[in-house]
Amino acid sequence: MRRRLINTTLGVVLVVVAVLGIPLAFVETRAIETTARDNLKAEASRLLEIVDLRLSSGDQPDVAVLQRQVAEGRYATVAIPQRAPLQFGDKPGGKTFEVTMTGPQGETVTVGESRDRVTRDVRESLLLILGVALLAVAAATALAVWQARRLARPLTDLAETAERLGSGDPRPRQRRYDVPELDRVAEVLDTSAERIARMLTAERRLAADASHQLRTPLTALSMRLEEIIVTEDPATVKEEAAIALSQVERLTEVVERLLTSTRRGAAGRDPRTASAVTVRVDDVVRQQVDEWRPAMVGAHRAIRVAGEGGLEAVATPGALAQVLATLLENALMHGGGTVTIRTRRTGTSVVVEVEDEGAGVSDVLGARVFERAVSGRNSTGLGLAVARDLAEADGGRLELLQLRPPVFAVFLAAKPADD
């Protein structure tokens, strides 16, 4: 492209130089010849006037006076009837350029000079025109090279940006080039880069959330299967199998909710409260207690339920279960002593609190406990962040009410009075 721009610019300049230079050279040549002829005519006229004045008074032409009128490098011939012609200067060999004029008494005056003198003036003028033309071509070449670089460099830069986008590096470069068309392309690429970055972030977040949300049900299901393997009591096997089946259903619900949320997010619809229904909070709490009691017992800890019973809230059963599972897992891993699940109603909200008797949350960590990748120990730091997102997706919220001992609370919309 750079070479094409340079060649195009030079081609245009050469055409302009040819169109203007050739006629200018022709006009300049004619002007130099006309000026030389006019100079010879003026000199011949002066000589003819002097000769005519002398002849009119009956005197002979003054040779010395006539000699002084002939310019250096020229020659002149004065022819008077019935007299010998007068010669001034040496007539050069080769081609000459001369003018002849005739007076009223029949006298003639011829003034001339070598053609080489006129040719030299024409050559100097043509060389000047050629020099100007070459200077114009040189300036045009420099301008073409500068313009080609000015246009080629942004295009190369835009190509590198597009290649970076294709290689998975969606960082916008925010570069502009003072060329409206190129700036428009750069703006579109930056917009696309930001859009791709958001999509990649959403996909990575979805993958992290999915892995974390699926981990807890799979862990619980694995524990139930281990109970089935080690027991020989048919009644226990049946009970554990029923619980395992409910956990499989919950796992399926988690997967379907993730896919539904992803599809609705891609379609630009708000997934909040999309699958929220009226749920009995006691049923969800009881299910989580049954799932986590074996793990608590294995850690020599207890889990108990307190507070009001019979509360109903607007939520997604699977999402609420996942939030409570995250809080219970957090209490098991980071807390200590007895874990208490307390339910109560306040205003238009149903509150489910999870409390343990551990050392609690530090002041520094408490301010950022719901941020992603923030953890007090060697964990992913996703659990509480995902739990808060799940609560907010149903129109509720998850809060840390107390640092020591730690108390986490899920606030849900209470069942409307007319339901």
Query: How would you classify the pairing of strands 312-315 and 407-414?
Result: antiparallel
What's the pLDDT at 89?
85
Q: What is the DSSP letter of 91?
A: P
DSSP string, 24-81: HHHHHHHHHHHHHHHHHHHHHHHHHHHHHHHHHTTPPP-HHHHHHHSPTTEEEEEE-T
Its pTM stands at 0.48
What is the fold of 273-419?
Heat Shock Protein 90 (3.30.565)
Q: In 10 A of CB 75, how many CB atoms?
A: 19
**Per-run averaged pLDDT (10 residues), the chain, 419 residues:** 76 84 88 88 88 81 83 87 85 83 88 86 88 88 81 77 77 77 82 78 66 68 78 80 76 67 50 68 92 88 94 89 89 92 94 93 83 64 80 89 93 78
pLDDT at residue number 198: 75
Nearest C-alpha neighbor of 283 from the set 313, 253, 242: 313
pLDDT (0 to 100) of residue 205: 66
CA 194 to CA 197: how far, in whole Å? 5
CATH number, domain 2-137, options 3.30.450.250, 3.40.50.720, 1.25.40.10, 3.20.20.480:
3.30.450.250
Give the pLDDT of residue 408.
Answer: 95
Half-sphere exposure of 382 (CA within 13 A, CB side): 15
Cα pseudo-dihedral 381, 382, 387, 388, rounded to 10: 80
What integer pLDDT is reported at residue 145 of this predicted model? 83
